[in-house]
Amino acid sequence: MKSFKISVPASSANIGPGFDSMGLAVNLYLTLEVTESEEWEFYSHSSPSNRTNYKEHFIYKIAKQTAERHHKQLTPCKVVETSDIPLARGLGSSASAIIAGIELANQVCDLSLTSEAKLRYGTEIEGHPDNIAPALYGGLVISIVTEDEIDWIQMPTLDVDVILYIPNVELKTDEARNVLPDSYSRNDATSASGISNIVVASLLSGNYKLAGKMMERDIFHEPYRANLIPNFNKIRNESKKYGVYGTVISGAGPTMLSFAPKGSGQSVVEQMQDLLGNYQVKLLEMDVQGLTVK
């Protein structure tokens, strides 16, 4: 009888100007403990003690459509979901759930899906690869969807501390995408692209001071979203006082993310937690593994 554990990391997309094309996996996880069974039992992280109606669960629906896409039938399982990824906070909870659902079908139906197939399918469901790719591969991943394929590259680990400022309010990605313009002037587009290029180049060369400065110069989405993010200016300005390199919206928000000099993160967390009482201010690590199945 099959029994396995699926683990998928959270991810922070965009990193400022890497809009829809950059994402960083961090060490918050969604896990599924799965055992084949006589009938479906689904215990979700939001109600661990009660069996939920599995047919209504987002992850089951993803698994079912993945199996059907390969003309297979899911066999019943007992699934216990745990997660420390808050929903609709800009930490890729939907991407982690999508990857978990695809992998559930992959394991239960022996689909032997390649990681490229999981990336393609997950991106098709999510709509963009910048959370799906780091959730799948780990690390900081730059990815782009062209007509018929997804090209991606995983960057070496970053020698920075990662700090997240997680408020107790939700912001749905759809809502945060609806405030964006349909097009940009050539001047804005070329400036935004240049800024993004400098961020990537400075991260690759370890010039985190320059990376932080340019991360805060996004033109693609932050100017339109800042007013949806509680304490946007306060978090960006105050964290700078404690020595962070730069602070940006995590994904579509409302969480914000700072890169800080290695070893300075804990003191930034303590200072900022005092300022942001009802937030979860966390010092996190990059996840470099992505999806794992044990």
Ligand X SMILES: Nc1ncnc2c1ncn2[C@@H]1O[C@H](COP(=O)(O)OP(=O)(O)OP(=O)(O)O)[C@@H](O)[C@H]1O
Among the listed residues 5, 177, 234, 240, the single contact to ligand HSE using CB under 6 A: 177
- For 41, the 3-state DSSP assignment is strand
| Residue 130 interacts with ligand HSE (CB under 6 A): yes or no | yes
Minimal distance, residue 130 CB to ligand X, in Å: 9
Nearer to ligand HSE, 34 or 99 (CB): 99
Minimal distance, residue 241 CB to ligand X, in Å: 27
Burial 96-130 (b: 16+ CB within 10 A, else e): bbbbbbbbbbbbbbebebeeeebbbbbbebbebbb
Is residue 89 annotated as involved in ligand binding?
Answer: yes
Piece of the chain touching ligand HSE by CB under 6 A; list 78-86, 124-132, 150-158, 208-216: 124-132
Q: What is Dmax (Cα atoms) for the chain?
A: 61
Among the listed residues 86, 251, 254, 290, the single contact to ligand HSE using CB under 6 A: 251
- For 45, the 3-state DSSP assignment is coil
| Alpha-carbon gap, residue 237 to 162, rounded angstroms | 17
| Residue 128 interacts with ligand HSE (CB under 6 A): yes or no | yes
Nearer to ligand X, 175 or 188 (CB): 175
Residue 24, H or E segment:
strand 22-36
- For 59, the 3-state DSSP assignment is helix
Nearer to ligand HSE, 133 or 268 (CB): 133
Residue 162 binds which of ligand HSE, ligand X, none (CB < 5-8 A, kind-dependent): none
Helix axes 129-137, 115-126, angle to 10 degrees: 150
Residue 209 binds which of ligand X, ligand HSE, none (CB < 5-8 A, kind-dependent): none
Encoded amino acid at 90, one letter: G
| Alpha-carbon gap, residue 294 to 195, rounded angstroms | 40
| Alpha-carbon gap, residue 264 to 227, rounded angstroms | 29
Is residue 94 annotated as involved in ligand binding?
Answer: yes
Residue 203 binds which of ligand HSE, ligand X, none (CB < 5-8 A, kind-dependent): none
- Tell me the binding residues: 86-96
- Tell me the binding residues for ATP: 86-96
Which residues of this protein are in contact with ligand HSE, per CB under 6 A? 13-14, 19-20, 128, 130-131, 173, 176-177, 221, 251-252
